[in-house]
Structure 1
Amino acid sequence: MATGTGDGAQHDDDGKRVPAMQRILDNPFLLLFLGVTLPAVLYIIWGVMEVASIPLAK
């Protein structure tokens, strides 16, 4: 179980620092947020690139 010490770092019961990647992977709401927003942003960028690559009609 991770506990806070006030200095912003997370420590486990043995007093060792919990790695940042483990804290990210242990947070299901953050994973849900990243799993929804990253594909959405990538598809939006992809769509803008596709629209920008359409030649102008004369």
Structure 2
Amino acid sequence: MFGFGVPELLIILAIVLVVFGAGKLPEIGGALGKSIRNFKKAADGKDEIEIKPKREESDKKD
């Protein structure tokens, strides 16, 4: 896969961690997962794509 091994992926993860910080990492992962899911739905020909993120109960209280 593009010639990336474990050491290269660890270096990339360390750079992302330094740039975005540990607090933002789950949000970035969630957004990336939703993007991949939407891409797969679009590739399969399904018409419905999630555009707006769903807010959780904890977000509404703050």
What TM-score does the superposition give when structure 1 sets the normalisation length?
0.43
Higher helix proportion (structure 1 or 2): 2
- TM-score in terms of structure 2 length: 0.41
Bigger Cα Rg: 1
